[in-house]
Amino acid sequence: MLNLFTQARRAAGRAAVGATALALAGLTVPAHAQETIKVGVLHSLSGTMAISETTLKDTVLFMVQEQNAKGGVLGKKLEAVVVDPASNWPLFAEKARELIAKDKVAVVFGCWTSVSRKSVLPVFKELNSILFYPVQYEGEESERNVFYTGAAPNQQAIPAVDYLMENEGVKRWVLAGTDYVYPRTTNKILEAYLKSKGVPAEDIMINYTPFGHSDWQTIVADIKKFGSAGKKTAVVSTINGDANVPFYKELGNQGIKATDIPVVAFSVGEEELAGIDTKPLVGHLAAWNYFQSVDTPANKDFIAKWQAYTKNPKRVTNDPMEATVIGFNMWVKAVEKAGTTEPDKVIPALIGVAVPNLSGGFSAMMPNHHITKPVLIGEIKDDGQFDIVEQTPGLIVAEEWSPHLEGSKDLISDWRSPLNCGNFNVKTGKCGGAGN
Amino acid sequence: MSPSDTRPPTLIPTNGLVFLGVLAAVAVLVPLLNLATSPDAAVHVPTYVVSLLGKYLTYALLALSVDLIWGYVGILSLGQGAFFALGGYAMGMYLMRQIGTRGVYGDPMLPDFMVFLNWKELPWFWYGFDLFPFALVMVLLAPGLLALVFGWFAFRSRVTGVYLSIITQAMTFALLLAFFRNDMGFGGNNGLTDFKDILGFNIQSDGTRAVLFFLSALALGLGYVLCRFLVRSHFGKVLIAIRDAETRVRFTGYRAENYKLVAFVVSAMLAGIAGALYVPQVGIINPSEFSPANSIEIIVWVAVGGRGTLVGAALGAVLVNYAKTYFTSGFLAPYWLFMLGGLFVAVTLFLPKGIVGTFYDWREKRRPSPDALGEPLPEPKPAE
Amino acid sequence: MISSARLRRLSCALLLALYGLCGALFSQPALAQDISAPLAQLATDNYADTEAALGALALSGSPAAAGIVAALADGKLVFSAAPRQVFLRTETGLVDPLTLQPVADPPAVKPVRVNNRVRRAIEAANGTLSLVSPDPAKRLEAATAVARSRDTAALPALDLALSKEADPKVKTALTLARASIVMGQPGVSDAERIAAIGLVGAEGNQDALAILQGVPADSSPAVKQAAADAIAGIERSLAMWSMAQNVWYGLSLGSVLLLAAIGLAITFGVMGVINMAHGEMVMLGAYTTFVVQDAIRTYNPGLFDWSLIIAIPLAFLFTGLIGVIIERTVIRFLYGRALETLLATWGISLILQQAIRTIFGPTNREVGAPSWMSGSFDIGQLAITSGRLWIIVFAILVFVALLATLRMTRIGLEMRAVTQNRRMAASMGIRTNWVDAMTFGLGSGIAGIAGVALSQIDNVSPNLGQSYIIDSFLVVVFGGVGNLWGTLVGAMSLGIANKLLEPYAGAVLGKIALLVIVILFIQKRPRGLFALKGRSIEA
């Protein structure tokens, strides 16, 4: 107990108890701080991202309850500390600091958007804590204090494109995305990949739209035009969040069916489809590492427990939820392996930890702080679920630094000794990117 | 430290003295208690609180800049966040260049996001930002210039009232969209982040934080004195006259648009300074600072504290943001928008002049001697 | 003309298939073939096999084929893993696909899975099969489908169908389909090709362009020339049509802006309340639609097509009521303090957002489109989607109704009187309090109606209102505060300008350019398009 206390304090750096001073600022520390292990939950519960992130908050609370029912961790109960960063990126940094420095959480599960992760990164580095990030993202990052349980681009995008090429004979590609880092990177990687497969430049159309774009008439008409040039065309969509519903509605309105121009999306899952009438969308695709329709006993069991926990028999599950579950289980396992929650012990212990995923295999934490995943391609069904039409035979290891990008093709990440580096340049043999 | 003791009381009224006194005490004590006491000491102020309070102080300066034009000139700018963000970006660009080879790709010249987008050269507008003095000039110049151009057009055309408010909102919205674009060269949605050091000092060290905190307090204090100076001068009298009856001022022979323009530009520069101090303390600047909702929130801070009181604006900013921090944690987290929304409604209904304004009224009722209180409360302008 | 042996074989097979189908139709003894091999293939749970099986089934001539294909499309074709066997699922249970006799001892079954590739094969099979359907509409559809697929294998079937076709419309479609296929065929004479090019070129649409671009590179110069001429002609006409199309998109966007802004034109424009909660009123209207649809789905699914019609008055009453409550409890204390209404309504908007989030959850809610709002039709090369058309019509109806209310009803008269001169109105015996409440309620109710329409094209989520509030204010201010016509013209011109800019500048830059244009425009006309005249403006 005392041990934990000292460790937590060390982890928090110089910011520590000082209860009186805190009271001076009106911020009070709960008195029973040491009886439990605290788990921080940093997901937006209001603002634009609440739509996606609220479920992940519930997932962590659900996992905490499950774990406590199993007797907790290291003989202590877990206690979730929930904050609301309100989809406000600077507030993410503030709340992260609050969780680590004031509430002394042992680990944080949180963030959805890349910008929120970028904004809390310096805080986690400074205060030396652990963040589990459960969402598919653009890669090009590997930090000591962050564990990425979502997909890197090669664990989602490339298998999806392969599937379309092989199974649907697609020759012409529309890469449509929201203008931010994830679509930009994914599209860059895909463009390089498609060209390497012999797709000429005039058969690739790239289009970016702002966040929350709601009038898709012109763009859908352009896609339709691009797709009627006699070659089989598909849309690879990295359109984010709220913009998807009007996009799909417009596709339906303009009569584009999946058999004409299939759309494969990387940000549309069960949760998003719950808000759309999916009948006109049947056959459009999504690529994820998990679908609710995965037919395994582990998944059935999970869904049953989740729906019982939320008291909603219709509550869906989705990929970032599975990533959260995997991350949570990995952390528990690593803490038990390390015998402590001290980040300096848990971080190395996490590498190599393998836990069952919900699609019937085991996902392992690799030295690059990313996990191995199967890739599943699903077609939208009329009930808002996915029909899994393809699953990669094995697990895929994340390429955190994409070999298809100029700046990162020489970089690797390995957080084991002796390398201990997130951006090791194999050409120069030095840690720290291309620098000298 | 505080200049309060050297200024004549007509410039700084009693409440201003109290404000500056408290500010000076906070400016000295908070960093001191953070650095000089052991973390176990009862009086220790954790770094977490220092950076939080530092953020509040920059917001207070921002609120002050709004109060100068809204409270005293009657310009309701729904785009003040744009000036704040521009100042922040100018500072962010300096901090970005300071990273040098320590970025993830280790490129000595290009920030990470440019390497990532496969850019080969630094865009021209990034030149010079490796020099701190240049960045400082830009902190003032970028928002100042935008305000000058925008204001010159708008005031000359006599765009007033809600029309002005809505086009300022359109301005910040256009900038929001522009900065979101990755092709603009400002890092797109992610903005600028992962800063390492400022003027050679580690940006995450407690010492740097303490200095930044102190500077924020100093800027707020000086900003307050500057605003007081402006509104107490002849220039300020004209501004107040413009607020209350612009047409009459014009008929009296004053070039109202020039007065407004000067106030608008000064206010934009103050907002820029606030942004420049905000960025190193928060560690990130991104386009969401341009969002119209942010600018509306600034107006709300001022209204809560008391429009046209300066001290109230600063107080409102700190109080509302403290409420936000407090409500977004713990068991209140799912309901904090109810609290905040309820607070705004309640303030409008029950404290129509804001906290400080209502306090003045109360004091005035008890001791009717307005001179001793300094500035008499300005009457709100009738409906536009 | 059909020279290659392969084609001849195909044509025989197809003819057999067609005869088989006709046989089934006219209950003559069918040339039933053994389809056990494709049936076994269907049971392998592999898309490629399913596709191959479909091809074989279409050509098998078995009378059961059509039924099996239809069952597959409906997800009623099931298979058991051991033994590998397929069945049809009917209401009464599993039946044998050939004999249609119930299966005595049904094994555990799973549906045969369908993906896009299989779906396309189903369409192709159906297309080929329904070229001889007795229903001309179906034949027309099939002809269009064949024309788009340009499936060489369908040529003999086309020829057969052409020789029998009596309906002129279908005949044209069939000729066109044939021309499209012939275009890319080797071994077709120049004259025939040029004739085909002429036929296709006369269509003048995007599909025709695609077909013409598919003229083989090794064709004779005359053919190439004919194709190039036809392409140039089509491109010229398409360019003109695309202009019209953009204007149509602009009108459609303008109508959305109009709907979003028109309620604000009352609460903000007429009453002077800087109503930041306006977007939330739109959102409440959209959620009302959701609740109505939910209730209809639960209690009376047959009424679904009427759901929007039912939702409109309910949304108006509900949001109007909320508006009246807000006016009575908050706004009425703030008249004459326009800027403070901004603060209070901002607070109200936060509360409403969070209330909806608490009640309905943070995720999107599904609002379906009634059947009369789906689909699209063409006018020339102009694609008009029904949903958008209805929204335009609806926006104009709302506008007219509102204008009529203000101009022709007693309450409208009172509203105008109160906003123009409150004291005078009061002294004439108008209950100004009541009129205020009604006016705010009217504005809110109209916003609610807008929500019903917007639920058809946008997310129904707690953030719905936020995405419209800025545009709404911009429209009202651009048009001129206090003038409904200004709002109409403002919305339409912003919509059209946006859509004309978008193809050149892209969605983001187009929007930025538009904002800059509005800012500059306000410099020219500081009171908007339709400025109110008189002393009141200087108040």
Please state whether beta strands B192-193 and B284-285 pair in parallel, antiparallel, or not at all (unpaired): antiparallel
pLDDT tens for A327-374 read: 999 999 999 999 999 999 999 999 999 999 999 889 999 999 999 999
What is the mean pLDDT of the segment spanning A69-97?
92
Q: Secondary structure of chain B: what % helix, strand, coil (to 5)?
A: 75, 0, 25
Per-residue pLDDT at B8 exceeds 70: no
Residue C452 distance to chain A (closest CA, Å):
15
Percent pLDDT > 70 in chain B is 93
What DSSP element (H or E) covers A80? strand A77-83
Q: Are the beta carbons of B292 and C470 separated by less than 8 Å?
A: yes
| pLDDT for residue B214 | 95
pLDDT class for B10, splitting at 50, 70, 90? low
Q: Which of A346, A283, A277, A357 is nearest to A323 (CA)?
A: A357
Residue in this structure with the two tokens 């946006």, named with its chain if needed: C498
Q: Is C297 exposed, middle or buried (0-12, 13-18, 19+ CB in 10 A)?
A: middle
Report the complex ipTM.
Answer: 0.88
Q: Give residue-wise pLDDT tens across range B175-195.
A: 999 998 888 889 888 899 889
User: What residue type is assigned to position A71 of the chain?
Assistant: G
Alpha-carbon distances, residue B20 vs A175, A428, B217, B218 (angstroms): 57, 55, 10, 10
Q: Say if residues A192 and A185 touch (Cβ distance below 8 Å).
A: no
In this predicted structure, which of B8-12, C70-74, C473-477 has the lowest mean pLDDT?
A: B8-12
Res C61: pLDDT = 67
* Residue C533 binned pLDDT confidence (cut-offs 50, 70, 90): low
- Bin B103: left if φ > 0, else alpha if -120 < ψ < 50, else beta: beta
Chain B adjacent subunits, 3+ CB pairs under 8 A: A, C
What is the band of B318 on the pLDDT scale with cuts at 50, 70, 90? Answer: very high
What are the tokens at B368? 């009717």
Question: Taking residues C365-380, what's their average pLDDT?
Answer: 83
Residues in contact with A298: Cβ distance below 8 Å, sequence separation at least 6, in sequence order: A356, A357, A358, A360
* pLDDT value for B1: 40
DSSP H/E element including C443: helix C432-454
Q: Where in chain A is the domain with CATH 3.40.50.2300?
A: 2-151+297-375, 154-294+377-391
* Partner-chain contact A274 C502, CB within 8 Å: no
Residues in C touching A276 (Cβ below 8 Å): 364, 366
Query: Mind giving me the DSSP string for B336-359?
Result: HHHHHHHHHHHHHHH-TTHHHHHH
Please indicate whether residue A138 or residue C105 has the higher confidence score (pLDDT). A138
Answer yes or no: is pLDDT of C25 > 90: no
Q: Is the pLDDT assigned to residue C259 strictly greater than 60?
A: yes
Whether A246 shows a pLDDT value over 60: the answer reads yes
Q: What is the pLDDT at residue B24?
A: 93
pLDDT the model gives residue C58: 74
Task: Give pLDDT, residue A281.
Answer: 87
Distance CA C21, CA C62 (A): 8
Confidence band, pLDDT 50/70/90 cuts, at residue A1: very low
Whether residue A387 lies within 8 A of chain C, CB to CB, comes out as yes
**Mean pLDDT lowest among A406-420, C159-173, C233-247, C261-275:** C159-173
Phi first, then psi: give them for residue B94, nearest 5 degrees: -60, -50
Please, what is the average pLDDT of chain B? 88
Inter-chain Cβ pairs, chain A and chain C, closer than 8 A = 138
User: Rounded to an integer, what distance in angstroms lies between the CA atom of residue A190 and that of residue A157?
Assistant: 7
φ and ψ at A80, to 5 degrees? -85, 135
**How near does any CA of chain A get to the CA of B180, in Å?**
7
* pLDDT digit string, tens, across residues C476-502: 999 988 889 999 999 999 999 999 998
Q: Of A280 and C184, which is predicted with more confidence?
A: A280
Between strands A421-425 and A411-414, the pairing is: antiparallel
Cβ within 8 Å of C, A 146-185: 167-168, 179
Region B92-121: mean pLDDT is 87
Q: What span, in angstroms and rounded, lies between the C-alpha atoms of C354 and B336?
A: 9
Higher pLDDT pick, B14 / B61: B61
Residues 389-408 of A with CB under 8 A from C: 389
Closest Cα to residue A343, out of A62, A85, A29, A100? A100
pLDDT computed for residue B129 by the predictor: 93
Q: What is the pLDDT of residues B156-167, one digit of tens each?
A: 998 888 889 989
| Closest approach of B75 to chain C, Cα-based (Å) | 11
Query: Is C349's pLDDT higher than 70?
Result: yes
The overall average pLDDT reported for chain C is 83
Rg (CA), chain A: 22
As given in the structure block, the two tokens for residue B328 are 């977004």
Residue A219 and residue C47: Cβ atoms within 8 Å? Answer: no
Positive or negative: CA dihedral A330, A332, A337, A338 = positive
Per-residue pLDDT, averaged over C329-333, amounts to 92
Contact A401, A411 (CB under 8 A): yes
For residue A268, the chain C residues in CB contact (below 8 A) are none
Q: What is the pLDDT of residue A379?
A: 93
A18: left (phi > 0), else alpha (psi -120 to 50), else beta? left
Min Cα separation B380/chain A (Å): 32
pLDDT over 90, % of chain B: 58
How many CB atoms within 10 Å of residue C504? 9
Mutation site, A44, A178, A218, A295, interface C, largest C CB count within 10 A: A218
Residue in chain A closest to B278 (alpha carbons) equals A90
Residue A435 has pLDDT above 60, yes or no: no
Q: Does residue B315 contact residue B56 with C-beta atoms inside 8 Å?
A: no
Q: List C-alpha distances in Å: A244 to A251, B158, B347.
A: 10, 42, 39
Strands (E), C268-366: none
Alpha-carbon distance C363 to nearest alpha carbon in chain A (angstroms): 5
Q: One-letter amino acid identity for C382?
A: L
pLDDT exceeds 60 at position B4: no
Q: pLDDT at residue A23 above 80?
A: no
Mean pLDDT, to the nearest integer, of A142-159? 93
A254 and C116: CB-CB below 8 Å?
no
Task: Write phi, then psi, for B214 (nearest 5 degrees).
Answer: -60, -45
Identify whether the C-beta of residue A85 lies closer than 8 Å to the C-beta of residue A91: yes
- State whether A180 and B204 contact (CB < 8 Å): no
Which letter, b or e, does each residue of A32-42 get, where b requires 16 or more Cβ atoms within 10 Å of its Cβ?
eeeebbbbbbb
Which residue in the set C210, C388, C457 is minimally distant from A230, CB to CB? C210
Average pLDDT over residues A207-220: 87
Q: Which residue has the tokens 């949903």?
A: C387
Q: Could you list the beta-strand ranges (E) of B283-354.
A: 284-285
For chain C, the chains sharing at least 3 beta-carbon pairs closer than 8 angstroms are A, B
Distance from CA of C498 to the nearest CA of A (A): 10
User: What fold characterizes domain A154-294+377-391?
Assistant: Rossmann fold (3.40.50)
Q: How confident is residue A20, by pLDDT bands cut at 50, 70 and 90?
A: very low
What size, in residues, is chain A?
436
pLDDT at A191: 93
How far apart are the C-alpha atoms of A381 and A378, rounded to whole Å? 9
Of B92, B51, B56, nearest to A123 by C-alpha is: B51
pLDDT of A308 strictly over 70: yes
The tens digit of pLDDT for each residue in A125-148 reads 999 999 999 999 989 899 999 999
Residue C377 in 3-state DSSP?
Answer: strand
Mean pLDDT of A49-71: 93
User: How confident is the model over C79-90, as pLDDT tens digits?
Assistant: 887 778 888 888
* Interval C240-250: pLDDT, tens: 888 899 999 99
List Cβ neighbours of B253 (8 Å cut-off, separation of 6 or more).
Answer: none
Q: What is the pLDDT of residues B267-302, one digit of tens each?
A: 999 999 999 999 999 999 999 999 999 999 999 899
Residues sharing a CB contact under 8 Å with residue C240, sequence separation 6 or more, in sequence order:
none
**Closest chain C residue to B306 measured between Cα atoms?**
C340
Beta carbons within 10 angstroms of residue C13's beta carbon = 17
**Residue A292 CB contacts under 8 Å (≥ 6 apart), including other chains:** A270, A299, A303, A316, A317, A318, A385, A386
pLDDT at C31: 43
Q: Enumerate the domain spans of chain C.
A: 5-202, 241-351+389-533
Q: What is the pLDDT at residue B367?
A: 66
pLDDT in tens, C1-21: 444 444 444 444 444 444 444
Interval C106-135 mean pLDDT: 79
Q: Is the pLDDT of residue C78 over 70?
A: yes
Cα C207 to its chain centre, rounded Å, is 20
Contacts of A224 in chain C (CB under 8 A): 206
Interface probe for A, chosen from B49, B181, B196 (most Cβ of A below 10 Å), is: B49
Domain ranges of chain B: 3-373
Q: Note the CATH architecture for domain A2-151+297-375.
A: 3-Layer(aba) Sandwich (3.40)
Q: Which is higher by pLDDT, C421 or B92?
A: B92
The pLDDT, as a whole number, for residue C67 is 82
